Amino acid sequence: MTATGQGATAARPIRAVLFDLDGTLADTAPDLIAAVNRLLDEEGRAPLPGEALRPLVSKGGRALLARAFADLDEDAREPLLPRFLSAYAEALSVHTRPFDGVESLLAAIESRGWPWGIVTNKPEGLAVGVVNGLGWTQRSQALVGGDTLAVRKPAPEPLWLAAQRMGVSPSQCLYVGDDARDIEAARAAGMASAAALWGYREGHEDPSDWGADVAFVDADALRAWLSAVDAASGP
């Protein structure tokens, strides 16, 4: 599946694009997995293979710790979260890279004069570090983290804030993400939504259940679709 629901955004001229970060723009899994395994080592436990953790990356630190420390209950795992975040903060751009096609996608968006930005549930300070490491700090027109506001996705407020910072109406934005809550947030914010099928998800998750307006197997397919949408909308 390259794209579905191609007519869904016809009544919504796109003039800006917002993205989730982990699993959408950047493959952050290697550095997050390394932080989990560092914590396991500190606790005298064996490391976990990457394939055991990678599908959970978009679910956040608590989900990763729930898999790594499955024998502990939620209350017992909670003190591990600050240690995990600290370990990750020390090495968050070692192996993190843009997904294939993302750089060309961002360049194509910029060539149209459209702003683009990031709305993530990752703590803002960590997100800033990742974005800086990727060289995107001066290019992204908005960065809203999971602790920027009192609420985070799937609440719409972070998306509204990002649109405000970019100077565009939510109705002019496309939001791209690799998790069901990304699509839910876009819908609540009044934005068109795109499912990034190249991201992180568990085997039982079916993106066709998310209700996204469009879905793409890779960033190149999204870039081609945006070009077609722009051409169809006229000057």
Please write the tens of the pLDDT for every residue from 31-89: 999 999 999 999 999 999 999 999 999 999 999 999 999 999 999 999 999 999 999 99
Indicate whether 199 pLDDT > 70: yes
pLDDT of the residue at 194 = 98
Residue 206 annotated as catalytic: no
* pLDDT above 60 (res 7): no
Catalytic residue, from 20, 22, 179, 182: name it: 20
Whole-structure pTM value: 0.93
Question: Has residue 1 got a pLDDT over 90?
Answer: no
Tell whether the model's pLDDT for residue 8 goes beyond 80: no
pLDDT at 160 over 80: yes
- How many CB atoms are closer than 10 A to CB 157? 18
Tell me how far the alpha carbon of residue 137 is from its chain's centroid.
Answer: 16
Predicted pLDDT at 43: 97
Amino acid 11: pLDDT: 52
Fold annotation for 16-27+96-233:
Rossmann fold (3.40.50)
pLDDT per position as a tens digit, 90-127: 999 999 999 999 999 999 999 999 999 999 999 999 99
**How does residue 3 score in pLDDT terms, banded at 50, 70 and 90?**
low
Q: Does the pLDDT of residue 143 top 50, yes or no?
A: yes
pLDDT of 10 above 50: no
DSSP the chain: -----TTTTTTS---EEEE-TBTTTEE-HHHHHHHHHHHHHHTT-PPPPHHHHGGGGGG-HHHHHHHHTTTS-HHHHTTHHHHHHHHHHTTSSSS-EEPTTHHHHHHHHHHTT--EEEE-SS-HHHHHHHHHHTT-TTT-S-EE-TTTSS--TTSSHHHHHHHHHHT--GGGEEEEESSHHHHHHHHHHT-EEEEETTS---TT--GGGTT-SEEESSHHHHHHHHHHHHHHH--
